[in-house]
Amino acid sequence: MKTKDEELQNKIVAGGADDSADGLAYKKVFHAITVEPSFNLPFNFADTLIRQIENKEAKSTNYDMRWLAVGIFVLFLGAVIGAILSGFKPNFGAFKFWASYPGLFAFGLVFILFLQWLDKKWVNPRLT
């Protein structure tokens, strides 16, 4: 089933006359479509447009990085002010148990380094 717009468009394309407001609007649109534009784009228009978009993206990235740096600075400043105002005293007593397990600490460190090496050697090359 054709809509009213499709019927009107087919009638005007076939050369039929329709003096309604919609008919006149369609005639103006079809006439405007058939007329070639009176301007020409420069030869390097696409390159210039792409360069402008890339510059805008680079500026956006710089802007985001600035906000990230400001956020980290404010977070650090808030932590320092909070520690000063609350009278915080650092205490590493919770980590004293490492002194009685030096072998476990060394094994954990070597195991993590081994996993990193394994990842770089075998997993990452297969992903790319």
Digitized pLDDT (tens) for each residue of the chain, 128 residues in all: 577 777 777 777 777 666 777 777 877 887 788 788 777 888 888 888 888 888 877 777 777 888 999 999 999 999 999 999 999 888 878 778 777 888 988 999 999 999 999 988 887 777 76
Kindly state whether residue 10 falls inside one of the protein's structural domains.
Answer: yes
Cα separation, 60 vs 66, in Å, equals 10
Q: How many domains does one find in the chain?
A: 2
pLDDT at 128: 62
Query: Alpha carbon 35 to chain centroid distance?
Result: 39
User: What is the spatial distance between Cα 45 and Cα 47, in angstroms, rounded to a whole number?
Assistant: 6
Residue 110 domain flag:
yes
105 lies in some domain: yes
Q: Is residue 63 part of a domain?
A: no
How confident is the model at residue 121, as a pLDDT? Answer: 86
Long-range contacts of 42-50 (CB under 8 A, 24+ apart): none
pLDDT at residue 55 in the model: 80
Chain centroid to Cα 103, Å, comes to 46
Give this prediction's pTM. 0.37
Per-residue confidence (pLDDT) for residue 117, from 0 to 100? 92
**Are the C-beta atoms of 2 and 8 separated by less than 8 Å?**
no
Instruction: Return phi, psi of residue 24, to 5°.
Output: -65, -35
Q: Looking at the domain assignment, is residue 45 inside a domain? A: no
- Supply 25's token pair: 């609007």
* Position 20 in a domain: yes
With respect to residue 11, please indicate whether it lies within any of the assigned structural domains: yes
Residue 36 is given by DSSP the state P
Range of the domain at 10: 4-34
- Asked if the structure places residue 79 within a domain, the reply is no
Distance CA 59, CA 54 (A): 9
Report pLDDT for 1. Answer: 55
